[in-house]
Amino acid sequence: MHSAQEMTDVAVYRRALTYFLPDWLGIATLVVLIAVSVSVGLLEAWPLAVLVDSVLTS
């Protein structure tokens, strides 16, 4: 069973999402760009870590 408050919350979220529908393509593009940026940032440190590890272990 769902309480009346949960149903109200769902209605609020559904109403809020309708405001973003016209801009969904731009929002999706930004989310993808953020994911790419985070991935590149994580990969950026990888070669330096390998270099430091190989120098310190040999």
SS3 53: helix
pLDDT of residue 34: 98
Q: Which of 3-12, 17-26, 49-58 ranks highest by mean pLDDT?
A: 17-26
Average pLDDT over residues 5-16: 83
Helix, strand, coil share of the chain (percent; to 5)? 95, 0, 5
pLDDT, position 48: 75
Tell me the domain boundaries of the chain. 23-58
Helix (H, G, I), strand (E, B) or coil at 58: coil
Query: Mean pLDDT over residues 19-38, rounded?
Result: 96
Chain segment 31-58, per-residue pLDDT in tens: 999 999 999 888 887 777 777 778 877 6
Alpha-carbon span 42 to 39, nearest angstrom: 5
Mean pLDDT of the chain: 85
CB-based contacts of 20, cutoff 8 Å, min separation 6: 27
